[in-house]
Each structure stands twice: as C-alpha cells, then as structure tokens.
C-alpha cells in the first residue's frame, strides 16, 4: 500500500493487518533470499570464468526455487509485507 492509502485507511478507521511471528519470519527469509539473489546477479555480471559462471547459475536456480517455496508458504499463511498481502507470484516482483 502506498503511504497515501495508509493515511486514508487510518482516517476511515480501517485496521492494518499486522503480521504474526511466523509471518514476520517468512518475510525476513524472503528478504534474505532476495538479497542473496541480488548478490548472485551482481557476481554473474562481473565473472568471466566458465566454471564460476556455471556455479553462479546453479546457485541462482537454487535461490529462485527457495524464493518460490517461501512465497507459497507466505501466501498460505496470509503474510503481509509492508501492509500488502503476499498474493500472486511474479518473477520480477519482490518482497521489500
């Protein structure tokens, strides 16, 4: 949700969903995997050795699989990140 939406929600008296402990843990893990993926992308862009590029590709595949798994768990647990429910999975959509 945008900040403006939050302001209007508060003015209307709407309650913001607060994540539970398990939801917060899932969101934290999603953020960590995202950070690792960003590092992987940076490493891949700078590396020239074929063996290390292969390793980076396998690592990326593993991280993406873990990210999809955590997204599925977050959706099942109705996790909320930044006031936004974790719903659909899109390749370029990240948890902030």
Q: Which residue range(s) make up the domain with 36?
A: 18-81
In a domain, 2, yes or no: no
In a domain, 76, yes or no: yes
Under 8 Å between Cβ of 74 and 14? no
In a domain, 8, yes or no: no
Number of domains in the chain: 1
In a domain, 7, yes or no: no
In a domain, 45, yes or no: yes
**pLDDT for position 40:** 96
At 10-54, the pLDDT tens digits run 555 555 556 678 878 888 899 999 999 999 999 999 999 999 999
In a domain, 71, yes or no: yes
At 52-64, the pLDDT tens digits run 999 999 999 999 9
Q: Is the pLDDT of residue 92 over 50?
A: no
In a domain, 67, yes or no: yes
């Amino acid at each position: 949700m945008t900040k403006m939406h939050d302001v209007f929600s508060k003015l209307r008296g709407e309650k913001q969903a607060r994540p539970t402990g398990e939801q917060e843990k899932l969101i934290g893990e999603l953020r960590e995997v995202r950070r690792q993926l960003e590092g992987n992308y940076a490493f891949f862009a700078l590396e020239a050795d074929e063996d290390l590029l292969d390793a980076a590709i396998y690592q990326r595949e593993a991280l993406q699989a873990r990210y999809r798994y955590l997204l599925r768990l977050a959706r099942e647990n109705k996790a909320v990140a930044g006031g936004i429910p974790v719903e659909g999975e899109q390749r370029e959509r990240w948890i902030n």
